[in-house]
Amino acid sequence: MKLWGGRFTKETNRLVDAFNASISFDRRLYRQDIRGSIAHVTMLARQQILTDHEKEDIIAGLSGILADLDDGSLTIDESCEDIHSFVEATLIERVGDVGKKLHTGRSRNDQVALDMKLYVRDEVSELSGLVKQLLETLLSTMKEHTETYMPGFTHLQKAQPLTLAHHLGAYFEMFSRDQGRLSDIFRRMNYCPLGAGALAGTTYPLDRAYTAQLLDFEGPTLNSMDSVSDRDYLIELLSAMSTIMMHLSRFSEEIIIWNSNEYQFVELDDAYSTGSSIMPQKKNPDIAELVRGKTGRVYGALMSLLTTMKGLPLAYNKDMQEDKEMTFDAIDTTKHCLLLFTGMLSTARFKKDRMKKSAANGFTNATDAADYLVNHGVPFRDAHGIVGQLVLYCIEKNIALEDMTLEEFKDISPVFEQDIYEAISLKTCVEKRITMGAPGKEAMEQVIRQYETYLNQLES
């Protein structure tokens, strides 16, 4: 059944119907659609646009449709144009002519804007919950590893030693910013478009504030044209999800490197790894690779919607129907990735010994050796040169700085004394990094306490 047959004298072309229809993907909005309709008729009756009796019949019909869709006894008829048409047609079929009053003072333009907002608002909350779980996993892993030494890298070259807690803390920062973006989006989008009509409001005395209140919005939107043509909140969400995916992807890349035979910093749990059909020895980090790979489709959804929106005149245009499929896919993808990544991280086994050994090799304490000289009066630039010589010497002999004898140190610079060994030990190198935000244990523990407070005040 069509909602708009009246002014047409011909059937639409079959291909046009198929091309125009959105029911194959907007069917997932049925709960939001029915919830919005119930709020709408409740308001209509309060404004005496419908009688209480009519309201009750319509609500009973809609509630029945919802229950039957939920339990599967009613299936969505995909020959309808969209979910709005299906719900309305089914209502009329079930409750008769009174059902035809549901759409009073409403257009599918404000209806779909509402449905999408209701859907996305719930998804933003779910995404927040998943990011929170990831943050909790990160924090508990950090607490276990404030003394797990590992090399820190720049250019993927060993740079200075730090701890696993510190490395994971960088991701805590990233995901807490993501969390902040999600709550900003929620706050900004939480205004109700229903009552905007097709674009110019309606002549019925609707109480938009009341509908907004029934649907848990902050209030009604203030411009009816913008209400039906605003998709900013979707673009913001796609952008926030793209950033989440970018963070997950960087983290995945590190996990893949750390899980490689060469590094062996981490061993992924069997439950989160996969094998090879031909090479029996293989245990592959497929989850991390897939998370890294799926980042592309979320970016794609963002670019797609930005491009769809860029030339649209006010107000509603059918182009906007293209906001759904990729947004749904991006939401599903990001949620799955967050869930799986958190599972993978919480079951991963970090190999402290391998990390420590790696931190001890590769001259990650070279800066500290230079600082030692500086503390003994050598200008930093000279100290840099001296330690460069030490490093060259060690590379030739295939040893670490701390393997050199004191005589060898002194041959290169007489300033060195016995306490150089203490000064360049891994523990000292890390613990001496005491500035706020640095890996030293005390600084780290202070930050961990702040993270705990932060997590406690996040709503779950």
- Strand runs labelled E in 122-252: 149-154, 157-163, 191-192, 219-220
Longest Cα separation, the chain: 102
* C-beta closer to ligand ARG: residue 85 or 148: 85
C-alpha to C-alpha distance for 137 and 141, rounded to whole angstroms? 6
According to the binding rule CB under 6 A, does residue 321 interact with ligand ARG? yes
Burial (0-12, 13-18, 19+ Cβ within 10 Å), 134: buried
Both tokens of residue 42? 């409740």
Q: Which of residues 57 and 82 has its CB atom nearest to ligand ARG in the complex?
A: 82
Asked if 159 contacts 151 with a C-beta cutoff of 8 angstroms, the reply is yes
Active-site annotation holds for 103: no
- The one catalytic residue in 63, 79, 260, 276 is 276
Nearer to ligand ARG, 109 or 365 (CB): 109
CA angle 431, 437, 440 (to 5 degrees): 10
Looking at beta carbons only, is 88 or 431 nearer to ligand ARG?
88
Residue 185 buriedness (CB in 10 A; 0-12 / 13-18 / 19+) = buried
Q: Which stretch binds ligand ARG (CB under 6 A): 132-140, 236-244, 315-323, 328-336?
A: 315-323
Instruction: Count Cβ atoms below 10 Å from residue 325 Cβ, excluding itself.
Output: 15
Closest alpha carbon to 242 in 121, 343, 327: 327
Looking at residues 94 to 153 of the shown chain, list those that interact with ligand ARG (rule: CB under 6 A): 108-109, 112
C-beta closer to ligand ARG: residue 33 or 54:
33
Residue 308 Cβ, how far from ligand ARG at the closest point, in Å?
Answer: 11
When the beta carbons of 133 and 321 are compared against ligand ARG, the nearer one is 321
Cα–Cα dist 270/256, whole Å: 15
Residue 276 is a catalytic residue:
yes
Return the H-helix or E-strand segment holding 266: strand 266-267
DSSP-derived secondary structure letter, 151: E
> Cβ 68 to ligand ARG, closest distance in Å?
22
Q: Based on the shown chain and the rule CB under 6 A, indicate whether residue 82 belongs to the binding site for ligand ARG.
A: yes
**22: Cβ contacts below 8 Å, ≥ 6 apart:** 81, 82, 83, 321, 324
Cβ-based nearer residue to ligand ARG, 137 or 202: 202
Our finding on whether 327 is near ligand ARG (CB under 6 A) is: no
Report the alpha-carbon distance of residue 277 to residue 50 in Å, rounded: 66
The token pair that represents 231 in the structure block: 């998709």
Provide the 3-class DSSP secondary structure of residue 334: helix
Closest CA to 56 of 103, 115, 107, 98: 98
Q: How far is the CB of 82 from ligand ARG (least distance, A)?
A: 4
Instruction: Give 152's strand partners.
Output: 160
Stretch that binds ligand ARG, among 36-44, 67-75, 318-326, 389-397 (CB under 6 A): 318-326
Closest chain position to ligand ARG (CB): 321
Alpha-carbon Rg of the chain, whole angstroms?
A: 31
Q: Judged by CB under 6 A, does residue 230 bind ligand ARG? A: no
State yes or no: residue 35 binds ligand ARG (CB under 6 A). Answer: no
Contact between 320 and ligand ARG per CB under 6 A: yes
CB of 241 to ligand ARG, least distance (A): 20
Four-residue CA torsion sign, 397, 403, 405, 410: positive
* Cβ atoms 349, 267 nearer than 8 A: yes
What minimum distance in Å lies between the beta carbon of 110 and ligand ARG? 9
Please identify, among the stretches 243-251, 279-287, 312-320, 425-433, the one whose residues bind ligand ARG according to the rule CB under 6 A: 312-320
Shortest Å distance, C-beta 219 to ligand ARG: 23
CB closer to ligand ARG, 233 vs 451:
233
Q: Is 309 in the site for ligand ARG (CB under 6 A)?
A: no
Nearer to ligand ARG, 18 or 434 (CB): 18
Main-chain dihedrals φ then ψ at residue 191, nearest 5 degrees? -125, 140
**267 in helix, strand or coil?**
strand
Given 73, 155, 277, 460, which residue is catalytic? Answer: 155
Whose structure tokens read 């991701």? 171
Catalytic residues: 155, 276
Residues interacting with ligand ARG, by CB under 6 A?
A: 22, 26, 82, 108-109, 112, 316, 318, 320-321
